[in-house]
Amino acid sequence: MTDARILVIDDEAPIRRFLRVALEADGYGVIEAATARAGLASAAREAPALVVLDLGLPDADGLSVLRDLRGWSQIPVLILSVRVDEAGKVEALDAGAQDYVVKPFGVKEFLARVRSLLRDRVSEIQPSVLTIGPLRIDAADHSATLDSHPLHLTRREFDLLWMLASHRGRLVTQEMILKAIWGTAHAGDSQYLRVYIRQLRQKLRDDATNPRFIMTEPGIGYRFLEGS
């Protein structure tokens, strides 16, 4: 058994069911997403050990998802695609994919490639619970506490908190956050993001002028502090 969770981003329900059965039989946890937007949000929220990404998604090309993901994460990505041309494979690998499997594919080969990608990353898997000073965030049940008191967060507020906290100490740009949580169509809605940051700060009892959690990098993005 393994604790590794794998995010499958594919709009075809039969493919997702097939992969879930195969992966769970091999001991993995499975997270499913049917669209680019949902996939990026799940990657930010769930911190999977591996992403299995179909290139033909209904709301965006899989390559754009890969490029967005690479803007803020180095999660290994295994591409699934019906595209067999060499140029397409090279483009996906150059964009940051670690491997490429052409549909249809054999389950044994697929699982072997998954194991290969995960072999060197077992010690790097993002924990599902983060404790930062008095703040505790649990991705598994989407809950958070501050000084042992529950924080009543909306789903979007939780996704925002998890994304920032799981990248604590590092600058996360406005565009990265908006694309990951709200989708590429909202990549320029910085005012929208500021509203959520303000709401999140209020619930964290965080002072924007003297922050212990969320520091603003003016005009660029946000940096999550250690919360001491």
Interval 51-79: pLDDT, tens: 999 998 999 999 999 988 887 788 899 99
Residues 10 and 104 reside in one and the same domain = yes
Split at pLDDT 50, 70, 90, the class of 119 is confident
* CATH, residue 194: 1.10.10.10
- The predicted model gives 36-64 an average pLDDT of 91
Tell me: pLDDT of 120 over 60: no
202: containing domain: 129-224
pTM: 0.63
What digits encode the pLDDT tens for the residues 186-201? 777 888 899 999 999 9
Q: Are residues 102 and 171 in the same domain?
A: no
- In this predicted structure, what is the pLDDT of residue 228? 57
**Domain final position from 82, 105, 124:** 124
- Give the pLDDT score at 177: 87
Does position 1 have pLDDT exceeding 80, yes or no? no
Output the pLDDT for position 6. 96
* DSSP secondary structure letters along 101-162: EESS--HHHHHHHHHHHHHTTGGGPPPSEEEETTEEEETTTTEEEETTEEP---HHHHHHHH
- What is the predicted pLDDT for the residue at 215? 94
Same domain, 12 and 117: yes
